Structure 1
Amino acid sequence: MHGSDEVAHLVDRHPQVTPERLIAQLVPPPTFADVSFDTYLPDPAEPTQAAAVQACLRFCDEAVARRAGKKKLFGRREVLPGVGLYLDGGFGVGKTHLLASTYFRLPEPKAFATFGELTQLAGVFGFTECIELLDDYVVVCIDEFELDDPGNTTLISRLLSALVERGVSIAATSNTLPEQLGEGRFAAQDFLREINTLASIFTTVRIDGPDYRHRDLPAAPEPLSDEEVAARAARTPGATLDDFDALCDHLATMHPSRYLTLIEGVKAVFITGVHRIDDQNVALRLVSLTDRLYDAGIPVTASGEKLDTIFSEEMLAGGFRKKYLRAISRLLALSREPTPS
């Protein structure tokens, strides 16, 4: 069901992403464009939050010092290896806020990427060229660091190790401690060396606290009817309207790195016929789209089943549990956003 012909559809968009565009995208998402350490408000009941701010500030000072190198005779400088900071914690404790604040505090050149964008960058440019592209950077910030397959584990481990050797510092966020990356997702013991190499790069800082997106917020909203969703889409400027299954099929036709371009310029997303997903690949693509929608602050309105029931119990018990829970948290936050009038 497409609904009104006047309303645009995501399934009609076929975005292409150039290498130049990929590099230009290496900045914090719009949601975090104006954050700083001053706008992060630590929960007084959670001392690890204030401690994390101090850890980030120390990391920034150290990253600048490492990039400057050590003076040797005749005015030459010796390259010092970069440092690593790993912000670990649950959903909604402000990890991305702190990571973006770290990015903004440090001088150019610098990069901010999701884990998926980083693997895509290496895929487009090639491993050696990717190192050359980033080897004079002060910092590479990686949001939602996740190792979902052996190929990515090896690739990212070697890429980051090479960058650190060249004086680049690495800051990352995740819901999983470095030595547990990949657990329950593939034969982690086969790649223990790579995972341990990654863990040795980082100083881990734990951030505790409840999900701020759920503080004093109601449960998932009751879904609207298909007709109501279509009607709201028709009267919302810049909206898109799509059938859930058709949208999921469309997402499969492109690499997730294109999802940002897919939703470019969209003001609100309307989806009909939402239902539970049992296919892991479909679910992971939906997680990627949700992350891009959340980063851009684009509200979501849906019909069908409740948004917090999209992922099956079996999926929520599996290796990607944290990814799915994050996506639910973000979808619920987006479903409460007021749609533009």
Structure 2
Amino acid sequence: MSSSSPAARPGPITDVPPLSLCAREPHVPADRLVAEMVPPPRFDSVRFGTYIPDPDQPSQTEAVRVLDGFAAGLGSPAAGAAGRRRLFGFGRAASKAPAGPRGVYLDGGYGVGKTHLLASLWHATPADPDLKAFGTFVELTNLVGALGFQQTVKTLSGHRLLCIDEFELDDPGDTVLVSTLLGKLVEAGVALAATSNTLPGKLGEGRFASADFLREIQGLSAHFRALRIDGEDYRHRGLPEAPAPYSDELVTRTAHTTEGASLDAFADLLDHLAKVHPSRYGALTDGLRAVCLTGVRPVPDQSTALRLVVLADRLYDREVPVLASGLPFDQLFSEEMLKGGYRKKYFRAISRLTALARDAGRLTEAR
């Protein structure tokens, strides 16, 4: 299972007008996109040693062992440019760049700690932070849009490692674009690591299958070693049920008495998200210490639901507690959505928002 640092405790102050997500329309310059390709704040301090494997799931212990060796194999001076020598040989030098796997794919359900392990790999790789990059698939595609394909290849080609979290496979155009980009980076000697989301129509365990990932990235399958990580969602293992929603009055009052809190009607926020590119949702939350929402209700359609998933991910990454009124978060998505091809994303969003709702209990306690 994964561990994470506790959410920040926002400080109560005398009535101050709260912030509003709906009033924000962030524009992120290209140089910031590159500079921020590091693990998000929630994963600043994670390491392989802070990942606590479930004793009933030996695949978790094995994943740590393999990834630790993978990171060590990126440590030779020759491992940062074309002709890198030590990757999956785990310390065995070669006379030229190895023909074997150049990357690793973490295959498992939501809440088994894939992002924790991916960020731990980034931290464990013995290279200057400027020579390794970490970002979501959405952030990577936005980087290509901002810099252009050739400049993105040039910018990332000198890296030792590129980690891609939440590799999206539901947009064929973007998948081909990133697959082509990764092919160029592999040729330049960049090591790769990825987790991914479920393809539309993939049901069953609520997890993505490595065979599907390898097929979707087309000619790159030979460059990835798949690591299966079994287990249950650590965020809810042994924890109480999600807290019940609060009243509109309490949510509003808390927003007015909590420094750095935002306050928005849930319906208005859903409308606003359609006006902001998902790659900017992280910037949308800059400086927030809490998010307060009134009138939470089921999302009306799939496009809106998918945007909300991205926002939930960015709030979770940044450890921003969410205090809400209306319906509980496990009623956000319809039964049809939870049985459809994006079910893994929706369950992950419920899991993460529920964890943030628990954190938000501290807001009311602080008052």
- Counting only pairs closer than 5 Å after superposition, residues 316-335 of structure 1 correspond to structure 2 as 316-335=338-357
Structure 2 equivalent of residue 30 of structure 1? 41
Q: CA RMSD in A?
A: 2.0
Structure 2 equivalent of residue 177 of structure 1? 209
| 198 and 280 in structure 1: CA distance in 2 versus 1, 3 angstrom threshold | farther
Query: What per-residue deviation string (whole Å, max 9, x for no partner) do you get for residues 148-188 of structure 1?
Result: 21111110111111111110010112342343249xxxxxx
Deviation at 1:218, TM superposition (A): 2.2
Q: Distance in 2 between matches of 1:83 and 1:119?
A: 21
Deviates more, 1:241-250 or 1:4-13: 4-13
What is the identity percentage for the equivalent residue pairs of Structure 1 and Structure 2?
51
| 141 and 173 in structure 1: CA distance in 2 versus 1, 3 angstrom threshold | same
Deviation at 1:5, TM superposition (A): 7.9
Query: What per-residue deviation string (whole Å, max 9, x for no partner) do you get for residues 285-327 of structure 1?
Result: 1011100000000000111111111011111111111111100
Q: Distance in 2 between matches of 1:113 and 1:179?
A: 23
Deviation at 1:220, TM superposition (A): 2.5
Structure 2 equivalent of residue 116 of structure 1? 138
- Counting only pairs closer than 5 Å after superposition, residues 1-341 of structure 1 correspond to structure 2 as 6-64=17-75, 66-67=79-80, 69=83, 83-106=102-125, 107-108=127-128, 109-174=131-196, 175-181=207-213, 194-338=216-360, 339-340=362-363, 341=366
Q: Distance in 2 between matches of 1:198 and 1:300?
A: 39
CA contact (8 A) 2:25 2:284 kept: yes
Q: Distance in 2 between matches of 1:282 and 1:201?
A: 35
* Greater RCO (Cα-Cα under 8 Å, separation 6 or more): 2
Structure 2 equivalent of residue 187 of structure 1? none
Deviates more, 1:195-204 or 1:274-283: 195-204
Query: What per-residue deviation string (whole Å, max 9, x for no partner) do you get for residues 198-252 of structure 1?
Result: 4332100011111110011222221112112111111111100000111011111
| 295 and 216 in structure 1: CA distance in 2 versus 1, 3 angstrom threshold | same
CA contact (8 A) 2:84 2:189 kept: no
Structure 1 equivalent of residue 90 of structure 2? none
The 3-state SS of whatever aligns with 2:167 is coil
CA contact (8 A) 2:136 2:164 kept: yes
Corresponding letter in the other structure for 2:337 = M
TM-score (norm 2): 0.83
CA contact (8 A) 1:146 1:181 kept: no
Deviation at 1:265, TM superposition (A): 0.6
Corresponding letter in the other structure for 2:211 = E
The 3-state SS of whatever aligns with 1:210 is coil
Q: Distance in 2 between matches of 1:150 and 1:212?
A: 31
Q: Distance in 2 between matches of 1:67 and 1:135?
A: 9
CA contact (8 A) 2:179 2:218 kept: no
Deviation at 1:17, TM superposition (A): 0.3
Q: Distance in 2 between matches of 1:223 and 1:172?
A: 35
TM-score (norm 1): 0.89
| 295 and 262 in structure 1: CA distance in 2 versus 1, 3 angstrom threshold | same
Query: What per-residue deviation string (whole Å, max 9, x for no partner) do you get for residues 49-83 of structure 1?
Result: 11001110222233345446369xxxxx9555671
Deviates more, 1:87-96 or 1:195-204: 195-204
The 3-state SS of whatever aligns with 1:291 is helix
Q: What are the ranges of 5 or more consecutive residues in structure 2 without an aligned counterpart?
A: 1-14, 86-94, 197-206
CA contact (8 A) 2:16 2:257 kept: no
Q: Which runs of 4+ in 1 moved over 6 A?
A: none
CA contact (8 A) 1:229 1:271 kept: yes
CA contact (8 A) 1:42 1:50 kept: yes
Deviates more, 1:323-332 or 1:271-280: 271-280
Query: What per-residue deviation string (whole Å, max 9, x for no partner) do you get for residues 5-57 of structure 1?
Result: 81221111121100011011100010110111111111111111110011102
Deviation at 1:284, TM superposition (A): 0.7
CA contact (8 A) 2:141 2:178 kept: yes
Q: Distance in 2 between matches of 1:92 and 1:241?
A: 28
| 258 and 152 in structure 1: CA distance in 2 versus 1, 3 angstrom threshold | same
The 3-state SS of whatever aligns with 1:336 is helix
The 3-state SS of whatever aligns with 1:337 is helix
